[in-house]
Amino acid sequence: MRTATISTIVLAGLLTAGQGYAANTSFMRDSVLAELRDDDVTILLETIEETLELPKGEPHSWENKASGAKGTVTRLGGYSKDGRECRKLRVETQARGRSGDSELDYCRAPYGRWELAPR
The 10 Å Cβ neighbour count of residue 119 is: 10
Between the alpha carbon of residue 50 and those of residues 27, 62, 83, 96, the distances in Å are: 23, 11, 22, 25
Per domain, the residue ranges of the chain are 3-116
The pLDDT of residue 117 is above 60: yes
Task: Identify the band that residue 9 occupies on the pLDDT scale cut at 50, 70 and 90.
Answer: very low
The pLDDT tens digits for 13-72 are 444 443 333 444 455 566 788 889 999 999 999 999 999 999 999 999 999 999 999 999
pLDDT at 20: 36
Q: Show contacts of 100-108: CB within 8 Å, 24+ apart.
A: 100/31, 100/32, 100/33, 102/27, 102/31, 102/33, 103/76, 104/15, 104/48, 106/48, 106/52, 107/81, 108/84
